[in-house]
Structure 1
Amino acid sequence: MSGFNQKFSRRSAFKAAAVTTVGLSFAGAPVVGVRRAVAQETTLTWMSNQRHDRAVKEDLFARYEEETGVKIEMQIFADEYPDQLQLAFESGSSPDMFNMNQPRQQAAAGWAEPLDAYLDAAPDLKASFVANAFLPNQGIYNGEIHGLPMYAQTMRLYYNRRLFEAAGLDPAAPPATWTELREYSKAITDAGTGAYGFIFGDRFPWVWFMNAQRPANGAGAYTFDWSTGTYNHNTDGLKGAMELIIGMNDDGSLFPGPHTITDDDARNQFSIGMAGMIIGGSWNPGVFNDQFASTEDWTTAELPFPDSGQAGRILQGVGDRYTISAESQNKEACWEFLSWLYSTEIMTEMYERGMGVMGIAAANTGESDVRGIPGIAPTERDVIPPPEPELPTQTPDTATTLQMIFDDPSTMDAALTDLDARYNAAFEAAVADGSLVAEEYVVPEWDGMTWEPLS
């Protein structure tokens, strides 16, 4: 949520390095079954912060243009995406379609066109999305549907089999427990290859949700407890996950200087064989294969669980909701395109080409010749959770607080207790002012091992 209400300079907003704009005009294979209901020479703008799927989307967008004559102009931003999107709407130059990275706030601002009528006219498409794709506060805001989830990403461990062999480890047996993760990290670091056992880059602290919060799920720890409708950071599971990372740092097994590198930097170092393991989302195979063209022998594994055994499932995110701008002058053409893009055929192609776990359930076949893709498909150890409150940005937020604990572990109990106090106070304030309804976030039957999402 950061950046939505923040001030920013027009100079920083227009920095050339922050955006790549691509007008797609080359030919691809024909699109099958697309109605030619839109005029030739139409151009639609697509704004996103997703870079891992750019090459595949360029190909798909070009294929759509070849068949329909509708050109999709792609605008890709990196970390400045929230500011760039806000500027586009405030300056009257909003895109035709965009990724709702802050869906509640963007729906409330009137940026997004409600999609209820479109989906009511396409019931098969609506039914094809993953479970819990459209719930109050998760795709439904103010009683209206906003955004179609492109991805339903899982969290995985990626490891380098060459470095495992060099360290005397079985390359077919990734770490299954937290202790094994720490021991394997040290073995790789001590093997004399120059590589470190584990890497993350938290120059942008958001990566702590991957490196601490998601592993903690396996211990039954969730920073929002749906059974009570309250935040609960101060758990043995989250503390154990933090102690694991801190322990690997104490061992000298972490790639040096995590605060000075980004997640992209860390993924690049993993891609060239300078780190044996990295945790990341199911979008990472596309990054390793395409963005960094890795020649290392890496593969995918599920996250390790606590030594005491699995006590919870790993949360699976339903996100990257693309929608039509309320200000678009080409809404019907946008829907025509989105209907094609979100078809099971195209979503399956995106999955099998390595883009990640898709928002269309049947697309996640578990079958692909692309390295790393078979292992990202959801398993019984993943779960799509109920909605979590979307609060105003807290300072410091959860990720930044975990980063601070990493630097000074003695503050862990006090810092996590403070997080709970601040987040619960912010939730109560949002309920008091009518922004949120507390009961919508209470799921009495919630249990991290047994709860099942709505179908």
Structure 2
Amino acid sequence: MMKKTIGTVLGVALVASSLAACGAGQDSGTQAGGTSGTGTATGGKTKISYWTIDRHDADYMKEVIKKFNDANPDIEVEMTVLADNFNQAVDIAYASKQAPDVLRTNDFLGFVKKGYLLPINDLMNDDLKKRYANLMVEESNMVEGKIYSLPNTGQFWRLIYNVDLFEKAGIKEPPKTVAEMVDAAKKITEANKDVGAYGFAENFKSASSAFARISNPISSFSGTSIVDGYNYKTGQFDFSVYKPIAEALYQMKKDGSLLPGVESLDIDPLRAQFAAGKIGMYFNHSGEPGVFQNQFPTKIRWAAALPPTLDGKQSGTVSVIAGNYVGISKDTPNKEKAWKFMEYLANINFQKEYHEKGFGISVVPDVNATANKPTIPGIDGFLPSKYDALYSPTPLSVTEAKVEGVKTGNAITKYMLEGGDVDKMLTDLTTRYNAALEKARASGDTKSKANPSFDPGKLQGTLAK
């Protein structure tokens, strides 16, 4: 039996004090600490510590871990949920020689660069390697051929819309183009003045995040090869493709179709307004069904649809940035037993149940092919389609850290509110971001390079049929 499962949300300060308390004089088999404290627990069990950032599935994972522990009498996995400041807590743990044996790879590339994770190539059997062969993505779950984590779920991006407001405005289906989205937002606003509803909103308080939620699914689905302004084919930034999207936002502002105060709107207030029936459309990912079931229960009829495209043609794929789940600490003295738990989380039975219970939508094809549909309301529109595909991470974060001047999100938001010379703005962004990218490459912060053969259209059908 599992002796205890820690499901408490801890802060960094609490973790730090907890780690400091795990001194050499304590019984290493009974403490709740990490690597340097793990060993043979009471009853001859080896204690394996597992740290996760996921709060939404904590109760379910307690059950999963109990089943694992019951089936493996020589192992006792203990879970700690660190929903806030997870990355800082991990840094403190490694610096204190108290790292967990197994952990969520929340900052995958950062954890690899810091030497936290153990390559698992030699631990994987041939069947496992074959099962995941098409899901290995550089800088997402492997680095220079070394695999550190295996995929489970991903974020599937969609246009989320209020069915009631659409029907009242006489709109029969979600927009297929950006122009149709602008028109729909205007009609929704005009038809729903009596209830104070508006056609469109996004969380522009976090300007870069808000614009990425809109631009990434639209541009990648349009077949541009561009995500985060970065062109996978050329290995350079090119913001010019975002002109129709920026102009659409400006037009919706001019039309009065944007929720008032959208420039200071955060994500949870946006969700609350949507749940109250005040917003016609916004973009977000597959975590929203859980939000509207638990955090912001709603009685409105809502649904999710594939994003519109620039020209109405679905010639690309909707980018799914995913591909890692858990990893093993490089410092663990219990590599084989830690792997046994990680392998347990990488099997199809666990992944199917996780998917079916609605904790996350799987990116693993054999799971999507055989799992029952999750029962959580609103999930249907988010389920993997042939138009969803795994993309490798872009060099945006390391580039933006070196960008001089106004960042993309702020520049777009200013244009949305005030107008101006959109071509000049996008050209300026392209110039400054490519200058910063050159610096990032020169300093070794990114190894991204051009991939002339990249074709988002050829990725169709790689996650689901």
Tell me the TM-score normalised to structure 2 length. 0.77
Higher mean Cα deviation, 339-348 or 410-419? 410-419
2:114 paired residue number: 109
Aligned to 2:175: 175
Contact 2:136–2:323 (Cα < 8 Å) also in 1? no
Q: Deviations over 1:327-352 (max 9, x none)?
A: 34444333222212221112112222
Match of 2:375 among 363, 369, 372: 369
1:97 aligns with 2:105: no
CA distance in 1, matches of 2:65, 2:164: 37
Answering whether residue 285 of structure 2 is matched by residue 285 of structure 1, we say: no
Structure 1 contact 176–303 (Cα < 8 Å) conserved? yes
In structure 2, the partner of 1:443 is 451
1:185/1:197 contact within 8 Å kept = yes
Q: 1:443 to 1:66 in 2, by over 3 A?
A: same
The higher radius of gyration belongs to 2
1:171-213 CA distance string (max 9 Å, x none): xx22222233223223333312233222221333323211123
The one-letter amino acid paired with 2:185 is S
Distance (Å, rounded) in 1 between the aligned partners of 2:425 and 2:56? 34
**Corresponding position: 1:216 with 2:226:** no
After superposition, residues 26-425 of structure 1 pair within 5 angstroms as 40=45, 42=47, 44-48=49-53, 50-54=54-58, 56-65=60-69, 67-68=71-72, 70-78=76-84, 80-119=85-124, 122-129=125-132, 131=134, 133-170=135-172, 173-190=173-190, 191=192, 192-204=194-206, 205-221=208-224, 222=226, 223-235=229-241, 238-365=242-369, 367-386=373-392, 388-389=394-395, 392=398, 393-395=401-403, 397-410=407-420, 412-425=422-435
Helix, strand or coil: the match of 2:325? Answer: strand
1:429 aligns with 2:439: yes
After TM superposition, the score normalised by the length of structure 1 is 0.78
Contact 2:386 2:462 in 1 (8 A): no
- The amino acid of 1:166's aligned partner reads K
One-letter amino acid of the counterpart of residue 328, structure 2: I
How many residue pairs get aligned? The number is 412
Give me the whole-angstrom Cα distance separating, in 2, the residues matched to 1:108 and 1:344: 30
The offset of 1:280, in angstroms, is 0.9
Question: What percent of counterpart residues are identical?
Answer: 27
Does the aligned pair in 2 maintain the 1:211–1:279 contact within 8 Å?
A: yes
Q: Deviations over 1:192-249 (max 9, x none)?
A: 22332222213333232111232122333312222222221222xx111122223223
**Which amino acid is the alignment partner of residue 115 of structure 1?**
I
Aligned-partner Cα distance in 2 for 1:286–1:271: 13
Counterpart Cα distance in 2 of 1:346 and 1:242: 42
| Aligned equivalents of 2:165, 2:453: Cα separation in 1 | 44
Could you say if the C-alpha distance between residues 47 and 370 of structure 1 is closer, same or farther in structure 2, counting changes exceeding 3 Å?
closer
**Secondary structure in 1 aligned to 2:82?**
strand
User: C-alpha distance in 2, partners of 1:196/1:351?
Assistant: 34
Shift in Å, 1:302 = 1.0
CA deviations 1:368-405 (Å, max 9, x no partner) are: 33322232233233333355346523445544443444
Structure 2: where are the runs of 5+ without partners?
A: 1-10, 16-42
Distance 1:90 1:181, change over 3 A: same
Q: CA RMSD in A?
A: 3.2
Deviations 1:61-87 (A, max 9, x none): 454455557343232324x44434333
Closer/same/farther in 2, CA of residues 299 and 54 from structure 1, 3 Å limit: farther
**CA distance in structure 2 between the aligned counterparts of 1:260 and 1:345, rounded to whole angstroms:** 43
Distance 1:452 1:187 in 2: 33
**SS of corresponding position for 1:149:** coil
Q: Is the 1:199–1:266 Cα contact (8 Å) retained in structure 2?
A: yes
Gap runs ≥5 in structure 1: 1-11, 17-37
